[in-house]
Structures are given as structure tokens and as C-alpha cells.
Homo-oligomer: A and B are copies of this chain.
């Protein structure tokens, strides 16, 4: 489950309520496209903005729609007791694994981050993916902290931040993480624009934003990279550069939301306010990129 392409769909809203019909459509598309796992309620799935009841509904809808494809459910929250409750809900919904980022409001110490994982993993019946996303959590994992957390029971994988674009630096980064964690813990990469580099550097999983909305666009890249065909993977990644440029300018969430809205997969204004969709001129640019790259 912690190898290959893991696709992270949006959790679309309609008038500030979970749009279950659109979500079912999104997840069904992912399963049909042949992704290796579905990441429900990741950052792209707006987990941090949804309440417990909504998150339960999303998790159940994801499991129902994904068929045989395993679903990894995000359980991050600011308070440990809330994370534990969400872990229970996710397992009851049929999650094959859970994904946990150490979300922070008050800056957390390493001891506090470790304590969070220690408490939560102690009572899990499914594997856990450690979700390291400093841009949203404002927590920085040292390799030493990776090592401590990865040694906990039920920790099966780590989702690391984007690797450097330079292949040598990327390899050094992935090697350092690999040295820090036990062999049985999978190291996977996020940041779609540098995923080809991350997979070439030794990551065995790609936790992908694009794959959650237009999986067909990145499956050739993922398959080539995981087969060791670096040249094809790099060429595919280069072909998708207009998309990476949009991500860099506006954040991947706003761009995939605009793509999904443009393709009619979700209703307009599907993101939770205060997050706004892209302005009109940028939506036109997104539409051109969708057309040029044949996304959808």
C-alpha cells in the first residue's frame, strides 16, 4: 500500500457543505484509473477545515467509492484527543491506513511531536503514515525525530516534503531519511513538481495532488519512475511544467480546485472559505494548460 501512486482528491464543498456526490465521482475516477492508493482527507482534501462529523462522512464515502483500492485517511488535528477520536472514526469507516501530520498552533517541541505519535500509534489497528508537511504544519522534522517516530509501533511510512531538484542533493536527502528509519518503513515523496526527482532518488511512493483530480495525467510519469525509466519520467515531468509553474504561483490546492471546477467534476467555489478560488484571469490560464496538456 505504501508504494506506487497515492492519489489525494479534493473534498469538494457546495454552499459550504460536503458535496458527497461530487466526491464519490472523484474517488471512483481514481479507482478506475488504477492508482495504487487513495489519500482521503489530506491537505488537498481540506481535512483541517472540516469538523469530525464531516470527516466521518468523507472517510466512509472514500472507502465505499474506492472499491479494492486501499484508502489512507488523514486524522490530523491540533489536539491529541481529537486525533485519537478521528483515528477511531477512520478505522470504523474502513481505512486501510491513517495519515497524521503534527498540526500546530502553538509551536511544538520535538518531545511534543513525538508524544503525539506515541499516544496515537499505541492504540491503532492499522498502519500509520507520518505526514511531514512543514509548509502547513510549521513543524520541522529533524532526521533524529524521524528516527524516533519511525521506531514506534504501527508506523509504516513517511511522506516527506519536496526533495531538492538537483538529483545528487535529492539522493543525499532520501538516503539520509532512509538511514534514519527502519527498513520496513516506506519513504514516499510529495510535491508533484519534484516527484520524478524524488522517485529517482529512491522514494518508493508518490503522494500526489494532481493524481487526485486528473490521475491519467501523471500515471505514465509514476509508472516510468517506479520502473526505473528515469529518462521517460523526466520527460513527462518536463512536459507537465506549465502545471508545476501554476502550482508554484498559487499553491497546488487552488490550482487543482480550478481544474476540477473547469472540468465540471465539482461545483464552482468548492474550497472552504476563507480560501478563495483563483481569480478569473488565472482560471483562463488554467483552462489553457488543461487544454494544452490534454488533462481531464
Using CB atoms and an 8 Å cutoff, list the residues of chain A in contact with chain B: 16, 43, 48-51, 78-82, 102-103, 105-109, 111-113, 115-116, 119, 135-136, 138, 251, 253, 272-276
Sorted from nearest, which 5 A-B pairs have the closest CB atoms?
A116-B274, A80-B273, A48-B105, A112-B274, A49-B79
Query: How far is it, in angstroms, between the C-alpha of A197 and the C-alpha of B112 when the chains are bound?
Result: 33
User: Can you name the residue of chain B whose Cβ is closest to the Cβ of A250?
Assistant: B109
Q: Label chain A's interface by main secondary structure.
A: loop
User: Can you name the residue of chain B whose Cβ is closest to the Cβ of A272?
Assistant: B79
Q: Is the CB of A273 within 8 A of B79?
A: yes
Query: How far is it, in angstroms, between the C-alpha of A130 and the C-alpha of B275 when the chains are bound?
Result: 19
Q: Which residues of B lie under 8 Å from residue A116 when comparing CB positions?
A: 273-274
- Which of B106, B253, B272 is in CB contact (< 8 Å) with A43? B106
A-B contact pairs, 26 of them (CB 8 A): A16-B81, A49-B78, A49-B79, A50-B79, A51-B82, A79-B273, A80-B273, A80-B274, A81-B272, A81-B273, A103-B105, A105-B136, A106-B136, A106-B253, A107-B135, A107-B136, A107-B251, A109-B276, A111-B276, A112-B274, A112-B276, A113-B274, A116-B273, A116-B274, A119-B273, A138-B138
Q: Is the CB of B107 within 8 A of A273?
A: no
Q: Which residues of B lie under 8 Å from residue A102 when comparing CB positions?
A: 274
Shortest beta-carbon distance from A150 to chain B in Å: 18
Q: Which residues of B lie under 8 Å from residue A16 when comparing CB positions?
A: 81
Q: Which residues of B lie under 8 Å from residue A138 when comparing CB positions?
A: 138
Q: Which residues of B lie under 8 Å from residue A48 when comparing CB positions?
A: 78, 105
Query: How far is it, in angstroms, between the C-alpha of A48 and the C-alpha of B82 when the chains are bound?
Result: 12
Q: Is the CB of B251 within 8 A of A106?
A: yes
